[in-house]
Structure 1
């Protein structure tokens, strides 16, 4: 009898184990929910971001904007940083194309380095949207910040503050599409404002741009030691401006003002310091640039045909309009009209995707 009972119990245990194995596990709901979450045809896309270089807080916030928008669309981003090496950038682009990703974002770069790789992407049906890149390939969309307008905004403010008479230092570097556009406006400005004289110019994009600019600006200040020798600095990039501002502050040169292009949280902190020489800047919210670029890429992934050239509207940031309390780019819209939270690039299909 005892043997029969033991045998019966054993059979029950085996049946129980088998039944337990057939029950849904705790993560089974997540697995079944995934197809519903990604049922939208635009969800689950794999995106590449090809950077010429990742320098400073502007780049960091731009990348953050790209990642934020792609994630809201249910996709993933692979970032390729080329560290300022255009040959490496071309290689990174080729790698992205060969991986067969769903879309490619490009940040800066030249047509000589990128045209062939972009053409390869287009030939394979991979949508491409570039930002501030000198790429010339039919079938892609290129975003720019309205560089000439930003230059005009800041240079006009410089001229007004100086009553049309100034000795200025220009910090600028060739080889970048946005820089070249800003230079066009600068040359036009000097032609039209004879009282504004350039007394020195320098600039280089390095892995430590702000620090290197500071050292070079310190040398310029020693060369022009007297009040009035330099009225203002015009910096065509905020990394240049940061170095110039620090050099001017350390030298105690309260007679020199700085006018720049681009804006980041770090820039704002420096502008808000008491007696800061940083007077003004013109920019597009770097996070918004990333978001908008992603939206145009997803338009193309969705089979739409956005304009080949898209100009982002810049905003003028006057240091005198900033509050005494610390403000970041996320809260800047409270004090500067037109800043942040742009709806540019959205379509009904993308809003639907984001809501899912």
Structure 2
């Protein structure tokens, strides 16, 4: 009996201790349960809270990039003439390829009515974006409005499109004219006879003409003895007409210099002057390509200097702003690209320079990150990694 009592008491004591421990455990859960629970489930819960955010952000970024791939872009050009245009088109193509898209280049042979028809067709075919090169607001405004109404973004180069929502990329045309004209005046000692090669009807040309008029007022002792220019076969026309002018002014010193408002004009004039052996006449141009640099470096060429923006860089910047628009960003109405002045003295005499390495010799030349964004950089990386 005593043993049974002892056994019963022992069991009772064990039961009491177990209950006490259970109660103590429950108190700890209540008092520290938040911490324990937070601590114990902090990883899962924090992971659950942050993981969706991080993965959501990552997914959003991934979707952002994916949504910009595979775009079909139309590049509508008024004319595609010369090496400057070739390098500009190359810049457009390479940038679109880096973004995983495709581009269709459509030229109009310097016919604005044809360019307007090409624009209408591009809207009908519903390209994802439209690039305009050397267009005209009067001729293209209706087509541009159709594109915008169809939610097709438009970015123009040297076109001066006035429609709200269009970004206009432009070179600082007045500055380029000023840079070359001031150099001409300095080299000529503020006096002499010059030939101007220029053509009306293009927004950049009209801007360059403003600077030219100011130059004439500033330097009354520099006389314009001839002026001409056409966009139809510009290089050959410039060469032919310059040959005729050289015959009109056969005496050395009768012509001091030629100011050419386009590199195609400068090439034609330089060829005529070189063939005539009139090495006293200097040519100052605007725009620059690899071919142009070769002529400027040639000590037997009369073409001594030019002011320009890297043509490939122009194309790249234009494409970036178009993709910003496709992404839904608000972009500026005007983006002006600054120019540099390049003369023979700034280039090496023992090495042929191209636009790819010109930045080594001329400060401010070369690739620009204008228009680039984090998501466009991510897009390039994603396309490159495919």
Distance 1:72 1:168 in 2: 45
- The residue that corresponds to 2:279 in the other structure is 254
| TM-score normalised according to structure 1 size | 0.88
Q: CA deviation at 1:251?
A: 0.3
- The residue that corresponds to 1:114 in the other structure is 140
Q: Larger C-alpha radius of gyration, 1 or 2?
A: 2
Distance 1:74 1:162 in 2: 51
- The residue that corresponds to 1:308 in the other structure is 333
Gaps of 5+ in 1: 1-35
Q: Give the SS at the match of 1:201.
A: strand
Q: Give the SS at the match of 1:41.
A: helix
Question: Does residue 56 in structure 1 map to residue 82 in structure 2?
Answer: yes
| TM-score normalised according to structure 2 size | 0.81
Answer whether contact 1:38 1:74 (CA < 8 A) is retained.
no
Structural RMSD (CA): 1.3
Answer whether contact 2:283 2:305 (CA < 8 A) is retained.
yes
Answer whether contact 2:346 2:362 (CA < 8 A) is retained.
yes
- The residue that corresponds to 1:281 in the other structure is 306
Question: Does residue 354 in structure 1 map to residue 376 in structure 2?
Answer: no
Distance 2:237 2:64 in 1: 47
Q: Give the SS at the match of 2:67.
A: coil
- The residue that corresponds to 1:189 in the other structure is 215
Distance 1:131 1:87 in 2: 18
Q: How many pairs were matched up?
A: 320
Distance 1:293 1:314 in 2: 16
Give 2:244's match in structure 1, choosing from 215, 219, 234: 219
Answer whether contact 2:65 2:375 (CA < 8 A) is retained.
no
Worse-matched range after superposition: 36-45 or 142-151: 36-45
Distance 1:336 1:132 in 2: 24
Q: Relative to 1, partners in 2 of residues 1:169 and 1:190: Cα closer, same or farther, differing over 3 Å?
A: same
Q: Give the SS at the match of 2:225.
A: strand
Answer whether contact 1:108 1:132 (CA < 8 A) is retained.
yes
Q: Give the SS at the match of 2:66.
A: coil
- The residue that corresponds to 2:293 in the other structure is 268
Answer whether contact 2:137 2:162 (CA < 8 A) is retained.
yes
Distance 1:76 1:245 in 2: 38
Gaps of 5+ in 2: 1-61
Give 1:240's match in structure 2, choosing from 265, 270, 279: 265
Distance 2:69 2:228 in 1: 46
Distance 1:305 1:185 in 2: 32
